Amino acid sequence: MKLSLDIRPEGEILKIPSVHALHSIFNPRAFAVIGASDTPGKWGHRMIDRPLKTGFQGAIYPINPAKKEILGLTAYPTISAVPAEIDMAVLTTPAASVPALLQECIHKGVKGAVVISAGFAETGEAGRKLEQEIVAVARAGGIRLVGPNCMGIFSASAHLSLCFPIAPKAGSIAFVSQSGTFGVSIAQVAAAQGYGLSKFVSIGNQADLGVADYLEYLAEDAQTNVIALYVEGFKDGERFFDVARRVIKKKPIIVYKAGRSEAAERAALSHTASVAGSAVVFDNICKQIGVLQVHESFHLFEMAQALAGLPVPQGNRVAILGSGGQGVVGTDACVALGIDLPQLDAGTAAAITALLPPHAPKPRNPVDFAGATRTAMQEAEIIEQFLKLDYIDGVISNVPVSPQLWDHHLVIDRQAKTHAPHVQVAIQGGERYAALPRKYGKPIICLRFANLEHDTMEEILGEGGIPIYSSPEQCARAMHALVHYGRVRRRN
């Protein structure tokens, strides 16, 4: 495991392993909330209330000299008064109080701190000096800092949520966001659409721990398959790219870089004290390394979802199965992103023709079901024909047909001993379909324009790591992400 040697500021060498500290922060056995409050809406209240409501199983110690109990937990006047070991501290007090409180954390043996408090470098020169002071205190005492000016963390493995009132679905996407409110909002929308998170961190001003430190940690995190970043600027861009160059050999990195315009650069400076830097230089280095960039915020999760659960293709050659305009629009979207759609050979075309309705057009690529009634098993058979071809690297298709598409009140219990024949065919076809990516080592991406409630087919596909999107363009972007990372892996 690589440990970081960060050199900031003014040549001071820091030899505290960020990976070890971040493990304590993301997986604490016990943590303290300094500035704890029993007043709803205050940060000191949220930092206790959210973990209690989202399933944290460790110990939480409220620190407030004026209270004996907060939210049913014994409160302590200082962190030193807690009669137990503490892995992490969360600070919500005014900025001026943070240096002294960090000293108390150091004396207690705390390994990491999440500094929610604002009022540091983002506010001007006085705040910048205060931020330098807390970094000096932390480095002298051997404690690492998330923030300041941040909104906390989420860790699925620890059932710990400081930033979400409702914990998102557990998954294998880690999201590192320089913006707290924006990052939390995107993550909540993503969770509502079914994307799962392994970790989330609002990194704030990056006074101590920077983007590169989180990359190093997440590269070794067993729960994380893909890393998504929202960044406005870097304290040490050279180190970020050095770490990214190593991490991308193991896991894909997707970044949405904000602060590209002059006006946005000014906003970034006042938001998280970040100097955005040259967008052209950033773009060129990302291209050289293989970091995948997006230019719309939610594209982060569209692409990350595909990368999180699917095999990486060996090339950029894709087959599309659908009906009518779906294939036409999907083809245009793929071609615009540099994805090829090879025409099918005569033998494969003949085999697929036997599986299509008589009125369907001759299969070339895309293949058109012409709106005909079919079963999930028939669709799985056609997809398998595609995946057997050495000149097809992946498939985009509609979600296999489910009886629930026609009967929205139908509830399917897959564990039942018997099913109606049409339901049994759907389950078996869906399970065959979902097993194909692993069987052939090639990705399948699915399209459905309208989601169904309690959809058994969606559940089956999810078990196979197959993502479902709501437009042909989203499907093309997801496949593009897979093709891109496949190229990066082959190059490295």
User: Mean per-residue pLDDT for 296-322?
Assistant: 95
pLDDT grade for 261, boundaries at 50, 70 and 90: low
Residue 407's pLDDT band (cuts 50, 70, 90) = confident
- Residue range(s) defining the domain that contains residue 376: 311-491
The predicted pLDDT at position 265 comes to 53
In the structure, what pLDDT confidence band is assigned to residue 175 with cuts at 50, 70 and 90?
A: very high
Given 307, 328, 351, the domain boundary residue is 307
Residue 226's SS3 state is strand
SS3 state at 402: coil
Q: Which of 456, 332, 437, 424 is nearest to 383 (CA)?
A: 437
Verify that 336 and 300 share a domain, yes or no. Answer: no
pLDDT in tens, 41-86: 999 999 999 999 999 999 999 999 999 999 999 999 999 999 999 9
pLDDT at 267: 52
Q: How confident is residue 308, by pLDDT bands cut at 50, 70 and 90?
A: very high
User: Do 318 and 272 share a structural domain?
Assistant: no
Residue 213, pLDDT > 50, answer yes
Report d(CA 138, CA 135) in Å as an integer: 5
187 vs 311, which has greater pLDDT? 311
Sheet holding 170-177, edge to edge: 160-161, 152-155, 197-202, 170-177, 226-231, 253-257, 292-294
- Residue 444 has, within 13 A of its CA and on its CB side, a CA count of 31
User: What are 431-470's pLDDT values in tens digits?
Assistant: 999 999 999 999 999 999 877 777 889 899 999 999 999 9
Together in a domain, 249 and 348: no
In a domain, 350, yes or no: yes
- 225 and 357 within one domain: no
For residue 474, being part of any structural domain is answered with: yes
Task: Give the pLDDT of residue 3.
Answer: 32
Number of alpha carbons in the 13 Å side-chain half-sphere of residue 474: 19
Whether residues 124 and 158 fall in one domain: yes
pTM of the model: 0.90
Is there a single domain that holds both residue 293 and residue 317? no
Token couple for 471: 């437009």
Q: What tens digit of pLDDT does each residue of 359-369 get?
A: 888 999 999 98
pLDDT of residue 9: 41
Is residue 101 a part of any domain in this protein?
yes
Q: Do 348 and 264 have their domain in common?
A: no
CATH of residue 217's domain is 3.40.50.261
The pLDDT of 480-485, averaged and rounded, is 98
Residue 336 and residue 257 share a domain: no
278 and 324 belong to one structural domain: no
